[in-house]
Chain A
Amino acid sequence: MLSGILLFNQKGELLILRAFRQDMRPRLADVFRIQVISNAQIRSPILTLGSTTFSHIKSDNIYVVGVSKGNVNSALVFEFLYKLVSLGKSYFGRFDEEAVKSNFVMVYELLDEILDFGYPQNTETETLKMYITTEGAVKSEQRALEDSSKITMQATGALSWRRDNIKYRKNEAFVDVIEDVNLLVSATGTVLRADVNGSIEMRAYLTGTPECKFGLNDRLTLGETGADTTLNGNIGGNKASKAAAGSVTLEDVSLHQCVKLSNFTNDRTISFIPPDGSFQLMTYRATENVNLPFKVHAIVNEVGRSKVEFSIAIRANYGSKLFATNVVVKIPTPLNTATTTHRTSQGKAKYEPSENAIVWKIARFTGQSEFVLSAEAELSAMTNQKAWSRPPLSMQFSLLMFTSSGLLVRYLKVFEKSNYSSVKWVRYMTRAGSYEIRF
């Protein structure tokens, strides 16, 4: 597995070097700096030189690098690097150069704990925070000595994500259903791709060891269940019949470590003992019956070589009681745009030369309404006339109380031996993932 972990800043200065095997030599840090950081041609996150492989990700302004020898499990390496970053964020708020420099001893301490001989060990924040703390040293040491056996049970046990004796005066659970809707429409208006990446984020403030049961739409179908209709999922012609209200078809789901996967496979119930605090319960993907919040109609004409005319109409497809906020439409213009003029029926438009685009912002977009932008871009003359590549128009927005997939949370039950009552809150939000319209 991993031979070592390296952290660099943007300039290639080494912030952390931890070796886990003998074959990890300090000079490998120089090799990475030369071959990757100062090499503009590198375009892959994986580089193998000889038998040494560098796998790197970037977090803010630092490089997080796993060094390995031999044919290691690459998924494990990257998942671990992601985990390291998220662990760093949960400890220090951020995981950038400043945070690492300010806490380098703690980073070393964490690394020593979460990797042994290069094999990832327990990486659950909850458990780690019991004995690797940012608090005063005396307290943590004493507590570590007293509770050490409890900690070790926790770190190796089946419930490593939750500690004992959690108490809340008010028991609450917050559920956020967040969907990123991705859309790609061709110039002729056909939908090339429409899918939803959703996640259910939970914040649980519950006493004791609560067993939670989670219920989604009554008619929840998973891509794989209907063996005969399975594979033609997104292209299949059975869309209309399935569009019945209240049903949702999820292509695939992946569930947090705490969810009992065998229960889910058997009867689709999501039962779990949640970690304390916030965590991501599940992520899912839907490709059928995607409700698109916005419909975009774009007409772009190149008039000769000196002018481009834009006429963009956007219609909100959701109920009139809802409204989207922070709607930003980015309309690309040719590279040699000199000036632009524009009129909008709502919101403000502005030409951003650095982005080569007209950016149209609408603070509040009420359901069922339609707004229009018309604009003209004057082009400056160019000596070598290259065809304009017409990159797609893109949108950003966030829309509360709406799910593109149609997913609904029907119930969340909490069972605990002391039988307390708990309050549950559910919130839905749909955001633009990559929402692109070609023209």
Chain B
Amino acid sequence: MSAGQDSKLFTRGKVAELRLELNSSGGKKDKNFSSKKIALKKIVANMTMSNNDMVALFPDIVGVMGTQSLEIKKMCFLYLVNYARSKPEIALKALPILINDLEDSNPLMRALALRTLSYVHVKQYVEHTVQPLKALLKDSDPYVRKTAAFCVAKLYDHDRHLVEASDLIDRLNMMLRDENPTVVSSALASLMDIWERSESIKLTIDYANASKIVQILPDCSEWGQTYILEALTSYVPQDTSEAALLADRITPRLSHTNSAVVLTCIRVLLYLMNYIESEKTIASLCTKLSPPLVTLLSKGPEIQYLALRNALLILQRRPEVLRNDIRVFFCKYNDPIYVKATKLELIFMLASEKNIKEVLTELREYATEIDVHFVRKSVRAIGKLAIKIEPAAKLCIASLLELVATKVSYIVQEATVVIKNIFRKYPNQYESIISTLCENLDSLDEPEAKAAMIWVIGQYADRIENSEVLLEDFLDGWADETHDVQLALLTATVKLFIQRPSKGQDLVPKVLKWATEDTDNPDLRDRGYMYWRLLSSNPAAAKGIVMGEKPAITAESEKLDPATLEEMCLVVGTLATVYLKPVHTVFRSARARKLIDSPALQKERLPSWQAAQQAKLLTEQQMASGAPQQYTNGNANGGRNADALEEADALFASMGGQSGNDGFASSPTHGQHGEQSQMYIVNQGQGLGTMRPMTHADNGGGDDGDLLSF
């Protein structure tokens, strides 16, 4: 029977017909059991289509299983693995056949039987596998041995107590001395899998072992190399020269074509660097990391994405890596959006006073692209660069103004939001741009942009000629505005009154009345009453509070906190690095990885140690000066689990939402936003049926590609 013609079998079938076909002998001519095979194929197809009637055929399948044909056997095994769980009592009838096959003279057959046997989640199956498995772990054939090695991890998954009570794990450990490299790497992978799921198991690799498994690296398949490299992070160097030597020996892997080998190798190198004393060695290792990372950008988009996310991470831990490579992260026109968004983040991180011109040209280009979310992020990035790189602020603002001149509504709105932040960073500078902003008032229709503009009008009420007219225009729509905009309007009106009492005196009473009487929003009402009280009891104090000087904002909160950063570097290339979140916040049951202390560990160079020192120093200073810890800025909030980038995002968004930010505690709406963006990470512990919020409501819509919004 020829292959490649089976698509017609991919149709729903009836149990009775299939049973008849399966059990028909097909006549004397049918030596190859082709009618049975066709029936089986139909059954497999129906199984795929989740046609649950197929389970009724179980006894018939067991009947056919003994047929002397490997092809038939394989299909029966597939069926068995699929349905054994729902009909364990029938599955048991197939057990003797499989046990028998474990002693077949053909090693491929032995391995197939063992592999199948250990997939079946039925108690008797698991129990009956243990004894034969012990023999097969010592099989004369390496193919059987490597299958047996994985089998131990499979049994552990079914019943860990059974495995722990037996000596299987010890026997698996012995296999690390096997002469065949594939067997060794399989045994390691199996051990790592068990380790991942049990706190009671320790995996220690000493230098001699590490050295031995590194030696067999070149003889392993690409996957085997990955398993071995993964295991190497369980080796704790006791001596700094050992760490350096091992690092040197694995660097050739960076030229491998398989990105799993490359990224895992980078992970091990980053890990070993923690134990290397010589700064020169570290520097030379760092220079070796850049080229392979960049090369991954010519792989498929998914790998590119992963490499970029990891570059974001590595850059924070070892800034010397990739330092001069900013151009390679410039977006290609046809990059998928998730790649573009991450490239944008990298460009932002790598931007410096030196390359700012180049970067701005590039970002301006992105800001005229088609994808609205990407455009917004680009505009936002320009604004944030103005805050991050002080000497370049002027250039950035010029770029923003050019973009505003396009009059494209969403560009103007985004630019308005970031320009507000620029004013907060550089108060009383660059005021000439206010007039440009005022020209575009009509195109603002998003609450965030409106609130930003209103904030600007309020803050600079005395310098904007017709500020009361502009404000009045906005006030006309009071009833239809969102609470955020209303809050902004309230504060701006008060600011106008304080700065220019004659112009504001008509507006203030009106707005205070609306805010206190015509609303059911508690924040608005509270703030309304507060202003009212303040203005009526002590106008001078009111001026000091409302128009007082506020600390300038910074863009420093882009970074992961030191402890998270350290942990993330131990899992380079894994899913957690895509989300850039601590592993346990994404995968609750994942086993934590920590840097293990040893005489070689360079503690004082760890980010977490340095941060702790700094914190200590700070408290000491404060103790000395006798002042309690004072002002905590919104973004210095390290206690929250959400990662720093997102925190910055929440901060920026809340700035837009909360117009005045005049030193009051943040309102519940603000807090909610933080919660929401946190929920967005992963819905932990919730059933799969529940949907996560698909749109990032406060941040301008469903940019799902990038979990860290800019």
Contacts and interface: CB of A to CB of B under 8 A. Distances in A.
A435 to B, nearest CB: 11
A2 B406 CA distance: 49
A44 B704 contact: yes
Contact of B705 (A20, A43, A123): A43
Interface in A126-161: 131, 134, 136-138, 141, 144-145, 148-149, 151-153, 155-158, 160
Interface in A24-50: 26-29, 31, 35, 39, 41-46, 48-50
B197 to A, nearest CB: 9
- Say which size band chain B's interface belongs to: 35 or more
B620 to A, nearest CB: 38
A104 B45 contact: yes
Interface in A208-253: 222-224, 227, 230-235, 251-253
Nearest to A385: B407
Contact of B253 (A43, A149, A261): A261
B288 interface: yes
B63 interface: no
Nearest to A7: B48
B587 A71 contact: yes
Contacts of A82: 300, 303
A381 interface: no
In this complex, the member of A53, A55, A261, A282 whose beta carbon has the largest number of chain B beta carbons within 10 angstroms is A261
A120 B300 contact: no
B196 A50 contact: no
Interface stretch (A302-310, A312-320, A346-354, A388-396): A388-396
A102 interface: yes
A264 B257 CA distance: 14
Given A22-B157, A43-B336, A75-B263, A156 B183 contact: yes
In this complex, the member of B258, B573, B590, B683 whose beta carbon has the largest number of chain A beta carbons within 10 angstroms is B258
Contact of B583 (A49, A55, A71, A98): A71
Contacts of A101: 6-7, 10
**Interface SS of A by simple majority:** mixed
A285 interface: yes
Interface stretch (B92-100, B363-371, B493-501, B646-654): B363-371
B450 to A, nearest CB: 21
In this complex, the member of B146, B365, B685 whose beta carbon has the largest number of chain A beta carbons within 10 angstroms is B365
A363 interface: no
Contact of B147 (A73, A116, A120, A148): A116
Contacts of A232: 324
A416 B288 CA distance: 35
Given A101-B7, A105-B44, A123 B223 contact: yes
B426 interface: no
A74 B291 contact: no
B284 interface: yes
Interface string B151-170: 00110011000000000000
In this complex, the member of A39, A76, A81, A231 whose beta carbon has the largest number of chain B beta carbons within 10 angstroms is A76
B614 interface: no
B33 to A, nearest CB: 9
Interface in B1-38: 1-7, 10, 32, 37
A372 interface: no
Nearest to B49: A14
Contacts of A57: 300, 302
B71 interface: yes
Nearest to A260: B218
Interface string B88-132: 000000000000000000111101000100010100000000000
Contact of B158 (A22, A184, A280, A387): A22
B408 interface: yes
B255 A102 contact: no
A428 interface: no
A401 interface: no
A52 interface: yes
A117 B338 contact: no
A366 to B, nearest CB: 29
Nearest to B116: A112
Contact of B295 (A116, A131, A251): A251
Contacts of A294: none
Given A102-B7, A131-B108, A257-B258, A156 B303 contact: no
A50 B704 contact: no
A45 B573 contact: no
Considering the complex of A and B, which 4 residue pairs feature the smallest CB-CB distances, nearest first? A152-B143, A43-B705, A252-B291, A101-B7
12 contacts: A73-B574, A78-B300, A104-B6, A105-B6, A137-B70, A141-B71, A157-B182, A158-B218, A230-B287, A231-B290, A254-B292, A282-B257
